[in-house]
Chain A
């Protein structure tokens, strides 16, 4: 299940609905990304997430499909927020369900690494100095590259 939304999400509610009643699920991994109050030494006031409606959902579906090819996943949830967010706000939720923990852990990590390098979202930060677009990080590319092959 993939959702792109401005509204916040509730981990408890999403977990309760996730793989509900499926006794084949022996392991669920959850990852939540949040807005940090500190951006390269400057105090962050807010962050605005822009995205490419249409492609965002398609790209997240492609990333989920790739994860399902690599691991025996029973269910996947990806929720990503857009719009203006404040420090401590939740940005992204990834849930993975599998029979065993290795697939759940690895797939959650894979989904986040690929989401960060392929899903068309862009962050703009507000600090006391003004607004600036966040630059892509080489470390994120390396994290995604390690899944190659």
Chain B
């Protein structure tokens, strides 16, 4: 699974992109964020800010219930501010 990070999330985490191999228990966006939170206090702090983290699965906006699978591209980013 490919993970992408944008804007201040990318800067805070210090990475823009990584490839991960989540366990079978990761089936949707909510369980993916919970798995990422287990990486450490900084990750938990970020992943639990539900109101400021948005997720896209395969380049479409997703919700906590959106399924994720091994070959997916999943992006994490703050609320958008274009226009």
Contact = CB atoms under 8 A, between A and B. Distances in A.
Interface of A: 33, 49-52, 54-55, 58-59, 62, 80, 91-92, 112, 115-124, 133-137
**Chain A to chain B: the 3 pairs with minimum beta-carbon distance, closest first:** A121-B82, A136-B79, A122-B7
Contacts of A119: 80, 82-83
Given A118-B80, A120-B80, A50 B60 contact: no
Interface of B: 4, 6-8, 56, 59-61, 75, 77-83
19 contacts: A49-B82, A50-B6, A50-B7, A54-B59, A55-B60, A62-B60, A112-B83, A115-B82, A116-B82, A117-B80, A119-B83, A120-B56, A120-B77, A120-B80, A120-B82, A123-B81, A133-B8, A133-B81, A136-B78
Interface centre among A51, A62, A120, A135 (most CB of B within 10 A): A120
Nearest to A122: B7
A33 B79 CA distance: 19
Contact of A52 (B4, B81, B83): B4
A13 to B, nearest CB: 22
Interface centre among A55, A92, A116, A134 (most CB of B within 10 A): A55
A123 B56 CA distance: 19
Given A52-B6, A55-B56, A122-B6, A92 B83 contact: yes
A122 B81 contact: yes
A54 B83 CA distance: 17
Given A50-B7, A54-B59, A55-B56, A116 B83 contact: yes
Nearest to A125: B81
Given A33-B83, A115-B83, A122 B59 contact: no
Contact of B82 (A58, A123, A133): A123
A51 B78 contact: no
Contacts of A137: 81
B80 A116 contact: yes
A136 B77 CA distance: 12
A54 B6 CA distance: 13
